[in-house]
Structure 1
Amino acid sequence: MASESDPPPLPGAVLFACNFNRVRSPMAEALLKKMLGDRVFVDSCGLKAEEGAEGADPFVEAVMAEIGCDLSRHTPKTFDELEDGSFDLVISLTPEAQHRAVELTRHRAVDIEYWPTHDPTLAGGSREHRLEAYRDVRNALAARLRERFGSA
């Protein structure tokens, strides 16, 4: 019997959304895939493509590699480029993505959660200082994922 402290049952498919799909949402996608393996379909997207940008942000690649997640093959995509829109849960990480998630799911029974997540690209200073900002976001997302989905 489940207690009140148990996480809810796992959804079949989870989508993480942010602004450009280069920083926060690919981090969350990779972390949940690492946590749950193939028990849940996980994808990520952004609102729009960042002009001239390819792949995950280099700092994202670096801090995710530290924990064994390879994002070197990540290809950013937008909501419009999703191959399948059949998600049970959409987790938006920015206010703008939350607005779009609500629009996307207006006529479907989809759970939507908003996890406001700091933008580490705003950090300045040395390379190490900037990497620390990305690590903070990675670690905060990992903690939130454990809280939401259990320790798997």
Structure 2
Amino acid sequence: MVPPFLRLAAHPLRWRLLTELAAGDLRVRELIELVQAPQNLVSYHLRLLRDGGLVTATRSSSDRRDSYYRLDLDRCALALAATGAAVHPALRPAAPPASPPGGAGRSRPAPPRAGRSRPAVLFACSGNSARSPIAEALLRHHAGGRVTVTSAGSRPGPHLHPRAVGVLREEYGIDVSGRRPRHLDAVRGRRFDYVITLCDRVREVCPDFGAQARRVHWSTPDPAAAAAGESADAVFGRVAADLDRRVRHLLPVLDQIPEYRP
């Protein structure tokens, strides 16, 4: 029996959709342009990927008529491992080392090459009070000093959200209590390899940081706008855990950035 992941991923168009979504979240019209296929065909194959549990869709907070599609990289990794094991038990990957309780463990990225400048990443959202500072802190934490990372907002507030500070301290052992939100204007003119927008609204207004900056979107709900009946702790914990997963998947990509010397 052919493993389900192989049946899904082996189709050329579905493989293109998977590889495009691996970089970040995209709308249907953007996928149509990238894969050069008609809308009905793209929508059909997206539905199959959603039915297979590899892709999810969420409504845009900027335009409720739009949806962002997202690839579940963790689920893909498990499916790939199961596919290998179906061929031969020796192809089953070794279990990764367990993380310390509380999520405070630090991943071990490959050491930088001699003479190579550090990759630079900017995270952007509207207020720069929750999502983007959480992502900034997590990437700095996991990268161990080998990535230059900052965050900013289009309409920064006066201070970080208390639960953003709390979840980083309690779940990851990171102290950002002295950090203050900054405006996107404050980082204009700086060189970035990746500009990652976390808010659907800020994606539409984020300034241009040059041709070398790869624009990526992670459509992340605002934890400060918690649904009725949900505690702030639960919502902030879920958003932080999601950003932590995405940051960990970003680290191997940053290892592939070519050397840059100013």
1:16 aligns with 2:119: no
Contact 1:25 1:45 in 2 (8 A): yes
1:65–1:84 distance in 2 versus 1, CA, 3 Å: farther
> 2:58: which partner in 1?
none
Q: Which has the higher contact order (CA 8 A, sep 6+)?
A: 1
**Ranges of 4+ aligned residues in structure 1 off by more than 6 Å:** none
Contact 2:192 2:212 in 1 (8 A): no
Amino acid at match of 2:220: T
1:129 aligns with 2:236: no
* Whole-angstrom distance in 1 between the partners of 2:137 and 2:227: 25
**Offset of 1:125 from its aligned partner?**
5.8
Unaligned runs of 5+ residues in structure 2 are 1-18, 20-76, 78-108, 113-117, 256-262
1:89 aligns with 2:194: yes
Contact 2:195 2:216 in 1 (8 A): yes
Q: How does 1:105-116 map to 2 (within 5 A)?
A: 105=209, 107-116=210-219
* Whole-angstrom distance in 2 between the partners of 1:69 and 1:147: 20
**Which of the two has higher C-alpha Rg?**
2
Amino acid at match of 2:241: N
TM-score using structure 2 length: 0.49
Q: How many residues align?
A: 139
Larger helix share, 1 or 2: 2
- Match of 2:233, SS state, is helix
Q: 1:144 aligns with which of 227, 243, 246?
A: 246
Provide the identity percentage: 32
**Offset of 1:21 from its aligned partner?**
0.5
Contact 1:26 1:44 in 2 (8 A): yes
> 1:71: which partner in 2?
176
**Offset of 1:38 from its aligned partner?**
1.3
Unaligned runs of 5+ residues in structure 1 are none
Amino acid at match of 1:49: P
Output one character per residue of 1:86-110: Cα deviation in whole Å (capped at 9) or x when no partner: 1111000012222233x423x4321
* Whole-angstrom distance in 2 between the partners of 1:109 and 1:32: 20
- Match of 1:44, SS state, is strand
What do you get for the CA RMSD once the two structures are aligned?
Answer: 2.6
* Whole-angstrom distance in 1 between the partners of 2:166 and 2:228: 17
- Match of 1:90, SS state, is strand
